[in-house]
Amino acid sequence: MVQWIIKTRRGRLDLHDTRVVWRRFGRYTRPHVLSLVVALGAALGAVAMQIAAPWPIQLIFDHVIADHPRRSWIANVLSGVGSTPGVLLGWACAAILLIALLDAVLSQARDVTLARVGHDVVGRLRRDLFSHFQKLPPSVFEQRRTGDLLMRLTGDIQMLRQMLVPAVITVCQSGLTIVAMIVAMFWLNPLLAALGLVTMPITLFAGWRISRQIRKASEAQRDKESVVASIAHDVLGAMSIIQAFNREQIERRRFSRQDRTTVRAGVKTTRLEARLYGIVSVASALALCLILYVGVRSVLDHAMTAGDLLVFVAYLRGLGKPVRNLTKLAGQMAKSTTCGKRVAEVFELEPAVVTRPGATRLDDVRGEIRFEGVSFWYDDHRPALTDVSFAVAPGQRMAIVGHTGAGKSTLAKLLLRFYDPQSGRVSLDGVDLRDVSLDSLRRQIGWVHQDTVLFGMTIAENIALGCPEADGARIREIAQRVRADEFIDRLPAGYETVLGQGGTSLSGGQRQRLALARALLPGPRILLLDEPATGLDAISRQLVEEAWLAPDNKATTLVICHRLRDMERFDRILVLRQGELCESGTHAELLARDGEYAAMIRAAFRPDPADSFGGRLAC
C-alpha cells in the first residue's frame, strides 16, 4: 500500500503537493499529539476487536454444533471452565457481547477524540487565516472575488481537516487491519489466502487511476463553487440595485447557469468516487466466489473445518472495509490537497506593510506631515505617484484636488500605511512612517472614506469601532458634535439600534455623520477625509462640514475634494495631475497663477444649459 502511494505521485494524486501542504499546516496538530496518541491507541484496540470478532462463532460451529470438533487454541483456553456444548455456547455468546461492547467503546473514543481535535485545528486555522486577511493590502480584496476568499476561509479549511487529523489514524488502523487479517488468513489456509488476494492488484490499480481523475474534478468543482459564492455575494449585497434595474430574472438565470455547472462538477466527482467503490465491491465479490468454491471443497475433504472457513470468509469480507477506507482516503487526500493549496496560496500573500522590530510608538503627536520625493506604483507597475513632495503644518487644513486617477486616494493610502512608497519617504513629526508601529499610527488618524462602511452592529458600536473602550457619554458627545444625535434619538432603540448590513436603513447623510463621528471619537491628531459630503443634499452636507470645520477641531485635516466649492476655507491646496504635484498654494494664489487649478475651477462653474441653476459645482 505504501508503494502504491508513492507510485500515485506520478499519477498526480500528487504526493509531492500533499507533502508540501502537510509541512505547511501539520504544525496545527502538534498541540494535540497526546490526544492523537489516545485516538491511535483506541483505533488499534478496535483493530484487535475486529480480528477477535469471528472466533466465538468458530467455537460455536466447530465445538457446539459439530459432532467431532478439532482441537484449537480457543478450545484449549476454555477447557478449564468446561467443555460441554452448553457451557461453550454461553462463553461464546458472552465473548461476542464483550467484543462488541469493547469495539463500540474504543470506536467512540477514537471518533470523539478525532472530532474534538479536528474542530480545534479547523478553528485555529480559520482564525489564523482571518487574521492574515486583515494584514493584506486593499488591492488583494479589490482584485479577488469575495466569494472565493470566503470559500477558502470556510469550505476549503473544512476539507483540509481530513488530511490533518483523521488521515494518519485511518492509514494506521486500516493498514494494520489489512495486515492482521491477511496474516490470519494465511495461517488458516495459504491457498485460500492467495486466491482471496488475487483481486488486490485490480483494486490498487483502479484507485491509482481514478484518484487522479477525482483530484482534477475536485479542483474544477471548487473553482465553480467559488464563482457561485461570488455571484451570490454580489447580488445579495446590492439587492436594491438589482431590483431597481429589473435584473431579477437576469441574475436568477446567471446564478442558475453557474450553479448547474457546479452541480455537474459535483456529480462528476461523486460518479468517479462511486466507480472506485464499485470496482472494489466487484473485486471483493469475485474473491468471495473463489473462496467459497475452493473452501467448501476443502471442508468436504476435511482439510479445514466449517468454523475455520467461516472465520476465513469473515476476514475476507472484513478486508473490504479497510481497503475501501484507504481508497476513499486517496480521494479525500486529493481533495484536501487541492483545498490546502488554495488556503496556502492566501497565506503566501505577503502583507504590504509590517511593523518593524523596535518600531516607535506614536503617543504625543503634533500632526506635521511630510511627503519627500515619494514615488509609488501598484502591481501593474503603472506609476500612481511620481516624485511628490509637500509638507502640512500641525493643525493646517489642506485640500487635495485633481481629476480621477490623479493619485489623490493613493496619498491617503500611503499616509495610512496601507502601502509603503517605492522611493522617498512619508513622515509624521519628522519620523519615517516605516519606523512607526502600525496600530499607534492609525490610532492618530481619523479616516472617513468616500464609500461609507457600517457594520451589522449597534449604532454605538459602529461609532466606537476604532475606540471600543469609549463610554456611552463620550459616544453621545461625539454624536452631538456631528449632529447625529438628531436622528439617533428618534430611533426606537436609540444608540442600541442594530443596523442592517451596510447601514442601508439609514440615509446617506446619516451614514456619513456616523462615519465622521467614528473618525473623531479617538481624538486623532490627523483627520483624513475622502470627499465626506459626496452624494449628500445641501442640508446634510452642511451638517457634515460643520463638524470638521468647527473651531474645536485642532487636528491636521486633509480633505480629498471632488467638489470645488468654498475652497477659500483651506489653508493650502495641492493639485495633482497624473500622479505628479503640479501646483500648490492658497485658493487666491492658484487662481492668480491661472494654471491647472484655475482651469478646473472654470470647468466646475461653467454655465450648463441643462442646469436650471446656471452652473455646476462638481469637477
- pLDDT of 44 strictly over 60: yes
- Min mean pLDDT across 8-12, 13-17, 110-114, 118-122 is at 8-12
Q: Which of 84-88, 324-328, 386-390, 540-544 has the largest mean confidence? A: 386-390
pLDDT at res. 237: 66
pLDDT of 315 higher than 80: yes
How much is the pLDDT for 207?
62
- Model-wide pTM > 0.75: no
Cell of 205: 490499480
Could you tell me what percent of the chain has a pLDDT over 90?
8
Ranking 50-59, 342-351, 538-547 by mean pLDDT, the lowest is 538-547
Nearest-angstrom CA–CA distance, 106 and 172: 15
**What value does the mean pLDDT take over residues 217-227?**
76
In what order do the strands lie in the sheet containing 526-530?
A: 445-448, 526-530, 556-560, 397-402, 572-577, 580-585
What is the average pLDDT across 198-203?
Answer: 67
Largest pairwise CA distance in the chain = 122
CATH topology for 17-347?
A: ABC transporter transmembrane region fold (1.20.1560)
- Residue 529, burial from CB neighbour count under 10 angstroms (0-12, 13-18, 19+): buried
Take residue 214 and report the three cell numbers written for it: 477525482
pLDDT-wise least confident of 136-145, 298-307, 602-611:
602-611
More confident residue, 611 or 387: 387
Strand ordering across the sheet containing 383-392: 383-392, 369-377, 423-428, 431-432
User: Which three-class secondary structure string do you get for 233-286?
Assistant: HHHHHCHHHHHHCCCHHHHHHHHHHHHHHHHHHHHHHHHHHHHHHHHHHHHHHH
Instruction: Give the phi and the psi of residue 499 in degrees, each rounded to 5.
Output: -85, 150
pLDDT grade, residue 5 (50/70/90)?
Answer: very low
Q: Is the pLDDT of residue 223 over 50?
A: yes
Mean pLDDT of the chain: 80
pLDDT tens per residue across span 138-192:
777 777 777 778 888 888 888 888 778 888 888 888 888 888 888 888 888 888 8
Q: Nearest CA to 482 among 521, 508, 443, 453?
A: 521
pLDDT of residue 372: 93
Name the percent of the chain lying above pLDDT 70: 85
pLDDT of 3 > 60? The answer is: no
Class level of CATH domain 365-444+528-619: alpha beta
pLDDT at 616: 38
CB 574 within 8 A of CB 397: no
* Same fold? 17-347, 365-444+528-619: no
Task: Return the C-alpha cell found at 268.
Answer: 462528476
Q: Where are the domains of the chain?
A: 17-347, 365-444+528-619, 452-523
- Segment (H or E) for 496: none
Phi, psi dihedral angles at 346 (to 5 degrees) = -70, -45
For the cut 90, the answer to whether the pLDDT of residue 294 exceeds it is no
Distance CA 352, CA 132 (A): 12
CATH no., domain 452-523: 3.40.50.300
Burial 364-383 (b: 16+ CB within 10 A, else e): ebebbbbbbebbbbeeeeeb
What is the C-alpha to C-alpha distance for residues 562 and 581, in angstroms, rounded to an integer? 16
Grid coordinates in use for 67?
459432532
Rg for the chain, CA atoms, rounded? 36
